[in-house]
Structures are given as structure tokens and as C-alpha cells.
Amino acid sequence: MFKKELSEKERTAVLALEDGSYFIGTGFGATGKVCGEVVFNTGMVGYPEALTDPSYEGQILVLTYPLIGNYGVPSRTVFDRWMIPSFFESDSIKVEGLVVHEYCSTPHHWQSQQTLGQWLEDEGIPGVQKIDTRMLTKKLREHGVMLGILEVFKENVEPDLDRLINEAKRVPDPNDLDLVSKVTCKEPIIYNNLGRKKVIVIDCGVKYNIIRELLHRGVDVVRVPYNFSAEEIMDYKPSGILVTNGPGDPKKVQNTIATVSTLIEYNIPVMGICFGNQIVSLACGGDTYKLKYGHRSQNQPCVDVSTGRCYITTQNHGYAVSLESLKNTELEVWFLNVNDKTVEGVRHKKRSVFSVQFHPEHSAGPLDSEYLFDVFLNMLESA
């Protein structure tokens, strides 16, 4: 039996946006107030993975699928043989707050250990339901992502709407900060040490399934903080480098960009994923820009421009690589987004370097592009 939830007390919750609009609903999860960039994800499933994705640091997440929480939350104390949490992409919830249309407080799934509301409450994350997420998503698509405040009030407390609306107009933009510093590891972490091929994972906010995919392929993995220098990384005698996903503006991590640029010159195989795609492109002289409302879903079609084959991919990013900026670099476009023709992958013309904007490690999402880890491992064998 699940314990009685705070959400059953019908707490009022308000989401206020920087344009002066607001949405009133019912709170679940924790009581409290948070602010951040309001973004939406159109995936139908995968909320445990999404909520623990470090790329959502600094953001209030809107899930567009109308019913959320119906399969509950699996155990947080189940680990795989590498002592990585089996069902999550990091050790804790990374979103600032959660917005849904209808929250299910009575889930049914054989692996469920608690409700979504209980999980949010345990980790101090407020949520709001019973608002028109379709209207909200259309607003964010037309205007672009917006800054906002989400507050869940105590029982029988009426919200001060004027105060919230005024506060929402002054919310600081989290993208002005170095968000990666909040989600990177603090010290190197070794997952295997068996003397085989060794991949250094530059942790900009790594999803655990990236590490799992490497370990499943029998390589040693060393996860290092994003601000490690090229010299510190080379001390590990790496066979290859993987630059991970992460939150915010990639130009805020100039040290990481410089490090990757140096590592590429060492002619070590390099793979980048999501934020890592932007870092690799910047390291090679390209440029990045902010998308209007980003790509956050499990059904983004991307075409391999060399073969014409289309892959359905999982994505979560608000910035993209400028196609025009690649013309004067040693990079060539590998993948393009079918919907908006944005750059979804690049590869180096002379070196063993490639990166993709989507998530080949999926979780949650389709497995179409998982083969790219094998491409990377073949580079290690050939180096």
C-alpha cells in the first residue's frame, strides 16, 4: 500500500510565465516554489528517465502526454553489476518542477515501489496537475521557451497571483550560468579496471545509460569532471574520449571546449553525444545557437545524409550546431533533422571524431541509433 499523499489534500498550485500568463491547478509532490526555464517533452513514456536526466538542470518540465504516473516509480535501491541505478539516468531528480495534465496517484506496475508524487515529495520537487498542458505547449511553441515560476501552496492557502506574476517577469535565465558545474562528478569514477580498451567519459551531465552502453561492450570506463584538463585526461592513457550530454549553453564551458580541441589534436578517437555534439563542433571552430523551443521527445527523425537512411531518435536539447558555421571547419554534416533540417551529427574529415545531437543510448526511446557505440568501439580497435 502506498502512503496517503499530500496531493490528496487538494493544494493549490500556480505556474506563472514571464509574459504575464498563468495557469492554476492542483499541486502534488513537494510544497514549495521553484523557478526556471519552462520546456516541454512530447514523449508518451519514460518519466523516471526524463526526470533524472541531468540535461534538465534549471528547467521546469511540461509533459504533454495527458496521463502521467500510471506505472509508478521503480526502486531506487536496485543496481546493476556496475553499481549503477538500474532504472534511472542519475542519482536524483534533476528538473526544478513538473507540470502535467493528469497525475495518476494509484499506479499499477509490478516493478512500482512508490507513486510519482511520493518520489517528488521525497526529493523536494513540486508538481502541478489539472492544467491545460495542450494550451501551454502551443504557447511555448509559438513564443518559444519561457522563464517561469511554479509554486505549490500549503493546504488552504490562497495564492497571491499578482506577486507570482511580477516575480515571473524577473526570473533569472539559468542558461546564463554554468549549469554543467552542478551536474558533473566531483572526482574521477572508475567503472572497470581490467586493462582493456579505456574510454574517458568527460562528464557534462552524463546519462547513466551512456556508461552502461560502453560497459556492455567490454571497455574500461573512467568518468572525469568536465573541467579536467587534457593533460589530466592523458595521464589515464585513454583509448578514446566520449563527451556527454549536459544542460544549458555549451559556450559557458570554454575550458571543456579547449580540452576537447587539444584531445582531437592528439588524434585520439572522440565521440560526442547531445551537448557533446555542440562541444565537439565548437572545439573544431563551429558555432552554436539557441533553438526556439528545442527538441525534447522520443520520435525525432534524423537522416544519414551519406546513405539516406532515416533513424527515429530520442532527444533533449535547447541548443544546436550552426550548419553555416561548419563550412570553414574540418567537420562534415553526417545527420540532419528531417523536420527542421538542423544539424544532428557531424564527423571529422581527417580524424576519428564524430558526434551526434540525439541520444544513441536511448532510455527512454527507440534503439535505432545504438549501433553508433559499435562505430566508436571500432575506432578504438583501429587506432
State the catalytic residues. 274, 359, 361
Q: Are 34 and 253 spatial neighbours (Cβ–Cβ below 8 Å)?
A: no
Residue 43, strand partner residues: none
- Cα separation, 13 vs 33, in Å, equals 9
- Cα separation, 24 vs 170, in Å, equals 20
Q: Are 320 and 251 spatial neighbours (Cβ–Cβ below 8 Å)?
A: no
Q: Are 57 and 92 spatial neighbours (Cβ–Cβ below 8 Å)?
A: no
- Cα separation, 145 vs 138, in Å, equals 11
Q: Are 188 and 233 spatial neighbours (Cβ–Cβ below 8 Å)?
A: no
How far CA 256 is from CA of 94, 153, 244, in Å, comes to 22, 40, 11
Query: Greatest CA span in the chain, whole angstroms?
Result: 66
DSSP secondary structure of 121-132 = HHTT-EEEESS-
Task: Let me know how long the chain is.
Answer: 383
